[in-house]
Structure 1
């Protein structure tokens, strides 16, 4: 797999393999992420790129369908990004896995990071026999023009203590390993707020 020392080296590698016009929209078009984001994902081991034309981005993701007693499911309706744009989501809580991380560890990290530790610690029950693994191939919404292969690990869960109404949570530092004041992390588009709502499961 290709290794990139800097975001610029990644950008230089992408250009002959993709349309430069398309790459130019990354981090500029509302709801998209930048080359810096992709470089950070690769550097942190969350994403790999296949050396093809166009390259294929492979990501392993956990999805947690939080279901409450009346059968409604919690979805993330949208995100507020650091550049002020809004990114529509309309999907259950999900998070990219880190290298060497078990599915269970990734689930609990995702719940803590996205919903806040005080909300979820000790209040989570993973539904027995709800685990499903599947592979999806589609274009990435974050990086237009870049095909993606998603390895999805999905579970259903009950989480006590969540608000009954729509609510929002604030994201911690998304690129923790790189937040030393460096321009690399500061150039990346990060999620500042998550907006959550309860929906009927048949509307998903």
Structure 2
């Protein structure tokens, strides 16, 4: 369908320069405001490289309902009738598990969301950093020491829950600072992400930290080199990841990781 003809101009027979300018300006206004009748107009693309690595943490899956709980107790009251009683009772009491205060803090910080279902599904986006070295080895977290004194086995690369809207690159740098930063030089460019190493997948399983609570993990994985790490086994202390003082004060009872224990493993022995 062709666009309508332009409206008649106030000055139909321009003879001077000012008349010509007036006519041209009137036509410009008309055509710039006319909708494009072509259903498939050509688009212009800037020739900047777009890499999957710039993927940001989504606001969770569309079927997830976000709940805002004022206190850990309100979260506990909401969860209790939705989970098996024996599983819920194990939170924070079975070695290696976390408690209701820990989950509340994850929700308050936007790291976790819960679906309004029975049982609820906990959705978490995680960045996994396969730290490499020049000997073709991968850094593995062998175990953790929690704030309550429990030791939890890990046997996995460095990983960290992502914040809403956080890019993979930003999450990688933050994860390295929080989990390895206690032995690294400060104010240096010490993280180098390996080009084209990004991959992603979704895993669904029951949460180890919160027994009886199904979890959906959206995993963003990259390889990276980190300067300044020891050659052998070593231990790091968790850096404070919560900047909100109110959250710290309200979650003093939360079970958190205090120490990380690391070792290097031949990359050929690690399954992708």
TM range (shorter): over 0.9
Gaps of 5+ in 2: 1-65
Gaps of 5+ in 1: none
SS at match of 1:75: strand
CA contact (8 A) 2:144 2:260 kept: yes
C-alpha deviation, 1:2, in angstroms: 2.2
Select between 68-77 and 110-119 the one with higher mean Cα deviation: 110-119
Are 1:200 and 2:270 an aligned pair?
no
Select between 83-92 and 173-182 the one with higher mean Cα deviation: 173-182
Structural mapping, 1:1-150, within 5 Å = 1-116=66-181, 119=184, 121-150=188-217
Q: CA RMSD in A?
A: 1.5
The structure with higher relative contact order (CA 8 Å, sep 6+) is 1
The size of the alignment, in residue pairs, is 203
- For residues 19 and 192 of structure 1, the distance between their equivalents in structure 2, rounded to whole angstroms, comes to 29
CA contact (8 A) 2:183 2:236 kept: no
C-alpha deviation, 1:60, in angstroms: 0.5
SS at match of 1:113: helix
Structural mapping, 1:136-175, within 5 Å = 136-175=203-242
Normalising by structure 1, what TM-score?
0.94
More strand by share: 1
- For residues 151 and 71 of structure 1, the distance between their equivalents in structure 2, rounded to whole angstroms, comes to 27
Normalising by structure 2, what TM-score?
0.71
Could you say which structure has the larger radius of gyration? 2
CA contact (8 A) 1:40 1:175 kept: no
Distance 1:178 1:20, change over 3 A: farther
